[in-house]
Structure 1
């Protein structure tokens, strides 16, 4: 922890961090809030959402905020007035929805499933069509798309690996493969850097680690609590934001304890790919 600093504390559970317009935006699970925090640690609530958890965020290319309303099976869109409206309905494909990434072509990927059922990935195309493009995932979590829009990488928490798919010209996913075996450490949120490595957060490992394709560990930052998500951002995209909290099981996620933190560390390799502003 010697190379990290606390940017923000007193949170419930921070998830889905995104660097956007000079601030880190994140979903504050358990409070129905989306919060943005600047590099000096000044924060504000920028939106309220109709679900407590899970909910995750990204943006359309025209700048409108997207919010996955997980238990309702909806992808919401924030209009200029601030109103959240339905962008797409996903409940017919899976009961609960989780992470989102919008690629450079405007395709929206959302993953979901349930604790007792295989997970799926849905595609929402720029024209609004919705279809399932992957299934059989072991509790899918964070996702990232390479800068060339040709590869989607998803964290399979219960399989303790990162899985890659080719992205076809029509947005479909193919050629599924293990991108990195994480040796029993369940990955949660992930992000890409400019050297093609992945940073992943892990709850049981209480760390944030950088791995290259094949699974070799390039760097690890050990924390004193579970790490749920990470994002490279800042003016030069070299600040690693790590969202961490003490973990006592799903049944206590909505309790009164506020052990959540956002920690930061400077990295030599900047972020790349999607999600990005």
Structure 2
């Protein structure tokens, strides 16, 4: 049965994920995928039927993004893997930072040119050992380039609707940064886009007007910022740890929200029975069509 939603967030999948993250809309399947990093799982939710399916992963599943051949690129702890939802099979394509065993991959996004952007982080969330990377398909292989370091918990990232700005968070610093993004994938002019004073910026995405939607860890809200960095009214959530949103549905006006139970004391969990679940709400301004990682030329 199709979801009936309004502007108030409603729990649509009572999952109790330890660290629900990385929601992404599959245009091909008209379904939502997301991960539970700590429980080593990939999840799929069909909003039309309410059906839910999950697959185990051999280590932390940090993000999942669609490829133009119907598979996904999955960031596990140690690198990039291809994931086939038809079989559940995972195959490694590229190791990332093997020299830093205390690091793991974190969040990612795909830009309008079909390139993958993702970050790494210190798994203990203490040392500024994380970096930002870009990946493209070149000469039948994944070509990885490094684009800056010094992040303790890299998060985001997100692309503006015109493809000219990349947003990246360093969560412990409570800051969202913006970069100019050139057509060839060069980053320049890093600046502070926004600084949160309540909670920590987690995953970010943009809508079709360029508004940045930010899951706010420890803040119990979705923070929102205009493209000029000025803050819009936030959207309160019924749980403390809000990780990321994704726009989906046929009109891209359904906002799916992942949350987490990680780090919450028993008394907080008692007050937040749906912490770690998947929520959804409706919005007037649509999101952007989900870009796919480009394998095919052109």
TM-score, normalising length: structure 1 = 0.86
Aligned-partner Cα distance in 2 for 1:204–1:41: 32
More strand by share: 1
What is the SS of the residue equivalent to 1:260? Answer: coil
C-alpha displacement of 1:19: 0.9
- Aligned length, in residue pairs: 268
What is the SS of the residue equivalent to 2:214? Answer: strand
Question: 155-164 or 38-47, which moves further after superposition?
Answer: 38-47
Identify the residue that residue 120 of structure 2 maps to in structure 1: 112
C-alpha displacement of 1:157: 0.8
Q: How does 1:1-277 map to 2 (within 5 A)?
A: 3-12=8-17, 13-20=19-26, 21-40=29-48, 42-51=50-59, 53-70=60-77, 73-79=78-84, 81-92=87-98, 94=100, 95-114=103-122, 115=125, 116-127=127-138, 128-225=142-239, 226-248=241-263, 259-272=275-288
TM-score, normalising length: structure 2 = 0.81
Aligned-partner Cα distance in 2 for 1:93–1:249: 32
Aligned-partner Cα distance in 2 for 1:248–1:125: 35
Structure 2: runs of 5+ lacking an equivalent: 1-5, 266-272, 294-298
Q: Provide Cα deviations, 1:98-150, integer angstroms capped at 9, x if missing partner.
A: 11112221211120021212421112221122221122234211211123322
C-alpha displacement of 1:215: 3.5
Q: Provide Cα deviations, 1:50-103, integer angstroms capped at 9, x if missing partner.
A: 11x352110222322111002xx2100125654211121112475211111122
Structure 1: runs of 5+ lacking an equivalent: 251-256
| Segments of 4+ moved more than 6 angstroms | none
Distance 1:216 1:167, change over 3 A: closer
